[in-house]
Chains A and B, each alone.
Chain A
Amino acid sequence: MTTLWNKPEISRREFFEKCAEAGAKTFVFGGLVVTTANLLLAQDPEDVRARAEGAVESRLHDTGLGDVRARAEGAPKEAAKGPIYGFVVDTMKCIGCGSCVRACRDENNVPDGFCRTWVEQYTFFPNGEVIVNSPSGGADGFGEDLPSRNMPEELGQLPVRGFFVPKLCNHCINTPCIQVCPVGASYVTREGVVLIDQERCIGCGYCVQACPFGSRYINPQTNTADKCTWCYHRITKGMVPACVQACPAKARIFGSVSDPNSEISQILANNRVQVLKSYLGTNPRTRYIGLDSEVM
């Protein structure tokens, strides 16, 4: 019988062939064993129940509205674990003053030409044309004349409606940006805040491209990715984000969605809220009141 060990004249080629064969067999057999073991374990009724509960729990958690079950039972289970934060933007109230953009710049040392939060101006014209404008993110206000409009004279040049939409990082539950980070520099905290580890980030820019909302940029001062943190250094000290504090129209509401008595929980309970680009399934924690279908 020819085996690996009692055939001294085995050639190098033969040796590697045998090694490859043994490796392949181990791989296939090992896979079978693991799969069978998993199937057998899943038959255990205790385990099945535990898994189902886990799934329900994570689903409740993933609504972005806190632990619904804990609220129903009147037991603030999430409160013991710490808050889960949420953000509401009321577009009906925004006056487009840009205070939020300036406050964010000053608070977070945002370099010129970049924004962690910005305000978009939507203007609708009688021919159906929509002009979206955001000069320097709205930091200098919106007093300027609008760009020229291409429409027949008889329709009239005056806009028919318009509004402002403040934007910021949506702090999604299913984050495309964290998934693509090759070094684990993007992460989400227990409170639901998506952050960037400036020490680990290598500035590859994958996350900047992955974000469908354009919330991220490469900071030219640090050459790392940067974005809105919901002012994590403030909210962990019991303050509100700089933009929320600066807003004179109270169009921005921040707070703990896991506390049913907080202002934001009351607003979420009493309003019809939407998210940006819901069809992408990123499940943002930043929610909007009065979001128009034209808003991208």
Chain B
Amino acid sequence: MNSARHFIRLLALLAIAAAAFFKARSMVVPADFGKLGHFRASAITDAAAREPRHLGSVTCAECHSEISDPWSKGKHSVPQCENCHGPGMLHVKVVSEDSVDAYPDPIKQNKNALRPTTGIRECEWCHLKTFERPSTLKSIKSVGEHITATGGTFTPASKCTDCHNPHTTAVK
């Protein structure tokens, strides 16, 4: 009868281990894990739920038609407003809710919740001459050289926007 006792003990231990394993598994593994594959099915809806921050120039045009109308007819109609001004989602929220207090400090300081533009850095991103850029793209070696070459006087405070309208590229 000794062997039967061994057997029962072994089975009991196995049963407890199995029960503990399945209990632990049910606590650790989410309920919808494996529904669509080896992952948590609701992770897809989580990933899709986030709010877009870039709204596109179409959205900007809803309020700023005085800028977007000439922009859409000019040579700069392909770069989006948000390329230079930063994502517009917070700006729309701040303007429509009329409260900046809910947002962190850097945004509070910049009351319209857009990226401040310098009028020179934004232009240089595309229009500084490098060997790799296509020759069809209008580019300059440096702002100083460009101003001197076009008959102007360069000062450290000179900006591209002193002479150009950044939205249409037209010379003022």
B132 and A121 form a contact (CB under 8 A) = yes
Query: Are B3 and A10 neighbours in the complex by a CB distance under 8 Å?
Result: yes
Inter-chain contact B130/A234, CB cutoff 8 Å:
no
B116 contacts the other chain (Cβ, under 8 Å)? Answer: no
Asked whether B44 lies within 8 Å of A195 as measured between CB atoms, the reply is yes
Could you say which of B46, B132, B137 contacts A199, with CB atoms under 8 Å apart? B46
Indicate which residue in B40, B79, B124, B130 contacts A248 across the interface (CB closer than 8 Å).
B79
Q: How large is the interface on A (under 10, 10 to 19, 20 to 34, 35 or more residues)?
A: 35 or more
Residues of A within 8 A of B137 (CB): 95
Task: Tell me the chain A residues, 131-156 only, with Cβ under 8 Å from chain B.
Answer: 140-143
Q: Which of B39, B48, B87, B128 contacts A232 (CB 8 A)?
A: B48
Q: How many residues of B contact A (CB 8 A)?
A: 43
Interchain nearest-CB distance for A173 vs B (Å):
14
A interface footprint on B77-88 (CB within 8 Å = 1, 0 otherwise): 011101100110
B residues within 8 A CB of A142?
A: 128, 130, 132
Q: How far is the CA of A225 from the CA of B7 in the complex (A)?
A: 47
A219 to B100, CA, bound (A): 28
Whether B159 is near chain A, meaning CB under 8 Å from some CB there, is no
Contact A141-B43, Cβ < 8 Å, known A159-B131, A239-B52: no
Q: Verify B83–A199 contact, CB threshold 8 A.
A: no
B56 to chain A, nearest CB (A): 6
Digit string of B22-63 for contact with A (CB within 8 Å is 1, else 0)?
000000001001001111100110111111111010000000
**A141 and B124 form a contact (CB under 8 A):** yes
Instruction: Give chain A residues whose Cβ lies under 8 Å from the Cβ of B87.
Output: 103, 106-107
Add 16 more A-B contacts to A97-B125, A162-B130 (CB < 8 A). A95-B134, A98-B125, A99-B126, A103-B54, A103-B82, A106-B54, A140-B125, A143-B124, A184-B40, A197-B46, A232-B48, A237-B52, A239-B56, A242-B54, A246-B80, A250-B78
Instruction: Please provide the 9 A-B residue pairs with the shortest distance between their CB atoms, ordered closest to farther.
Output: A187-B39, A143-B128, A162-B132, A233-B50, A197-B43, A248-B79, A236-B48, A97-B126, A141-B125
19 CB-based A-B contacts, threshold 8 Å: A19-B10, A95-B137, A96-B130, A96-B133, A99-B125, A102-B83, A103-B54, A103-B82, A122-B132, A123-B131, A140-B125, A141-B128, A158-B131, A184-B40, A187-B37, A195-B43, A197-B39, A199-B46, A248-B80
Q: Which residues of A contact B (CB under 8 A)?
A: 4-5, 7-10, 12, 15, 19, 95-99, 102-103, 106-107, 121-123, 140-143, 158-159, 162-164, 184-190, 195, 197-200, 229, 231-234, 236-237, 239, 242, 245-246, 248-250
